[in-house]
Structure 1
Amino acid sequence: MVLATEMGSSQPESSFDLSTYLAKRKEAIEVALDSAVPVIYPEKIYEAMRYSLLAGGKRLRPILCLASCELAGGTTSMAMPTACALEMIHTMSLIHDDLPAMDNDDYRRGKLTNHKVYGEDIAILAGDALLTYAFEFIATKTENVPPQQVLQTIAHVGRAAGAGGLIGGQVVDVESEGKTDVSLETLNYIHAHKTGALLEACVVCGAILASASEADLQRLSRFAKNIGLAFQIIDDILDITATQEELGKTAGKDVQAGKVTYPSLWGIEESRRQASQLVAEAKAQLAVFGSKALPLLAIADFITSRSN
């Protein structure tokens, strides 16, 4: 992905109360996630799954799924199972990313990481269980959606989570660690796949469930790819500028691991400028939707203004 070089506006959408919107959607998602994974035998695996799944967080990914479904004429109930499933997969990626063989972190969302509480063996299995359950959850819990749309959603999520998406990006990230000659092209590949692919699936799948047109799906895909990369650029900046308390995880991990980041290539100010331009270009993709796009537009602005 080629980043733009001209500054774009990224001012918040003044006519939309994002804080209230996020709070209401997050509350509904927390209730849905809590009921999605009851504790049954063998209790330890379900407890480990719930420990990380219900550990908090912004819930931006499931919220994006709900928002795009509504934008395309659907309802939050149609998209909630997929939104929860995407959060399960995201949680799996965090559990596995924190393992000693990967990023080796002790804290996530202000709490001890899964392997620090349950051991590496159970943490690996908890991630595996969340990943597999996610697809079952979409298939069995989605209601009032044509079967073809459910199947298309499952296929899209599978691509985003697999070797062609999240896992592929993670592999290149691991292979690039400690190298000083990582190119911008490689860095873009890592984050377009490791972070961006799942985020793009959140936006596109919400619209798929609402039977959006192919043209609208393409617009939403371009929007999501841009905000996904902007999200990662801001993550890289926060790893340098934020405290452990603000992040809820160990600060400065990228530098300690010898990772090439956007700030290491461009500096912090240029990185902020690139993120702002990506958001401006993302928002331009949604102009055709008018006021229906206000939640997504406001979330795009939030990505570059967040502090954790």
Structure 2
Amino acid sequence: MVVTNSFPKPAETAKFNLSSYLKQRQQLCDQALDNSITVVYPEKIYEAMRYSLLAGGKRVRPILCLATSEMIGGTIEMAMPTACAAEMIHTMSLIHDDLPAMDNDDYRRGKLTNHKVYGEDVAILAGDGLLALAFEIVASKTPDNVPKDRVLQVITRLGKALGAAGLVGGQVVDLDSEGKTDISLETLNFIHNHKTAALLEACVVCGGIIAGASSEDVQRLTRYSQNIGLAFQIIDDILDITGTQEELGKSAGKDLQAQKVTYPSLWGIEESRLKAQQLVIDACKELEYYGEKAVPLQALAHFIANRNN
């Protein structure tokens, strides 16, 4: 299947077989993630960690990391530990986000959420375990031919993307904003630039850093990833309205139930789609410098804006 799209894209991207690319890379990521956690005593915590980490998903974040490394001139092997770490951090955020104290969700990726299977206490610890393992795997499994200063930069960026300056900070403002009708676009952008886009940005930029990206490369990758990160969230907001639980693999209509201000609530669905599409176009322009090497990342940007789950 050749990737198609609802808005124009370069001829190279239109010819790129994204379906085949995603299937291959997803298999590579799934295998690496499966190998990353062995069940030993106490078995319950390792089983809980594996339950959510291996529950499926599109593996967009690790695939972005690998694609960026290759575009800059690196290899899959160089970037795989960082890619796995990004997925572990993302999975941790989902486990914690689904807890009763947060979004209180029963389903994720079509399966019962971690706390519904293992209890809230073990779910919290499973998230903590994945977070610790993420940094351990970058530090210990990145190949020896990658300079240590690059590994240190990756650890620093992942930590910032996760903490109060990133995902955690965005989540706090998101929770504080529930039920308020006077949330501004500026506040909404803050939430999602931190809660969603920060980790996507780290996946892309860290993939480049591992491969030896220059400061100019990092600037281009940052602009690309910030654009796709915001587009990702806009589409997420739309799907929460238009999708079903079967399509999404999680509860639909949660934003409305929680009385959250979203992009569709500010702009409407069609205007939100147009904004997301423009963000993707802008993102792809940032990578024109790299020519055909950028095609996978450009195709992934279009995929983000046209997904249905």
The two structures have a TM-score, normalised by structure 1, of 0.97
Looking at structure 2, the residues matched to 9 and 36 of structure 1 have their Cα atoms a distance apart, in angstroms, of: 39
State, as a whole percentage, how many aligned pairs show the same letter: 71
**Aligned mates of 1:10, 1:154 — CA distance in 2:** 37
Deviation at 1:159, TM superposition (A): 0.4
Q: Establish whether residue 58 from structure 1 lines up as the match of residue 66 from structure 2.
A: no
What is the correspondence of 1:294-305 to structure 2 with a 5 Å cutoff?
294-305=295-306
Partner residue in 1 for 2:9: 11
CA contact 1:46–1:126 (8 Å) conserved in 2: yes
Q: Which of structure 1's runs of 4+ aligned residues deviate more than 4 A?
A: none
Q: Which residue of 2 aligns with 1:205?
A: 206
Q: Residues 1-308 of structure 1 correspond to what in structure 2 (within 5 A)?
A: 9-11=7-9, 13-143=13-143, 144-308=145-309
Distance 2:7 2:283 in 1: 11
The structure with higher relative contact order (CA 8 Å, sep 6+) is 1
Deviation at 1:9, TM superposition (A): 5.0
Task: Look up the SS of the partner of 1:14 in the other structure.
Answer: helix
Range with greater deviation from structure 2 (69-78 or 8-17): 8-17
Q: Distance in 1 between matches of 2:133 and 2:302?
A: 32
Does the aligned pair in 2 maintain the 1:224–1:282 contact within 8 Å? yes
Amino acid in the other structure paired with 2:93: S
Distance (whole Å) between structure 2 residues aligned to residue 68 and residue 10 of structure 1: 23
Task: After superposition, give the CA deviation of every residue in 1:216-263 in whole Å (9 maximum; x if it has no partner).
Answer: 111001000000000000000000001100000000000000000000
What is the CA–CA distance in structure 1 between the aligned matches of 2:51 and 2:263, rounded to whole Å? 32
Structure 1 residue 45, shift from structure 2 partner = 0.3
Letter in 2 for 1:187: L
Contact 1:10 1:301 in 2 (8 A): no
1:277-303 CA-to-partner distances (Å, cap 9, x unmatched) read: 111111110010000000000000011
Q: CA deviation at 1:11?
A: 3.5
The alignment's C-alpha RMSD in Å is 1.0
- Residue by residue over 1:144-182, the C-alpha shift from the partner in whole angstroms, topping out at 9 and shown as x without a partner, is 210000001100101001100000000000000110000
Cα drift, residue 10 of structure 1:
4.5
TM-score by length of 2: 0.96
Contact 1:275 1:304 in 2 (8 A): yes
In structure 1, what is the equivalent of residue 3 of structure 2? none
Letter in 2 for 1:165: G
Q: Distance in 2 between matches of 1:166 and 1:31?
A: 27
Q: Is the CA contact (8 Å cut-off) linking 1:200 and 1:221 kept in structure 2?
A: yes
- State the AA in 1 paired with 2:140: T
Aligned length: 301
Equivalent-residue separation in structure 1 for 2:121 and 2:232 (angstroms): 31
Q: Distance in 1 between matches of 2:179 and 2:299?
A: 36
Query: Is contact 1:161-1:198 (8 Å) kept?
Result: yes
Structure 2 residues without counterparts, runs of 5 or longer: 1-5
CA contact (8 A) 1:9 1:277 kept: no
Structure 1: runs of 5 or more not aligned: 1-7
Per the TM alignment, residue 14 of structure 1 is displaced from its structure 2 partner at its CA by: 1.4
- What is the CA-CA distance between 1:30 and the residue it aligns to? 0.4
CA distance in 2, matches of 1:10, 1:233: 19
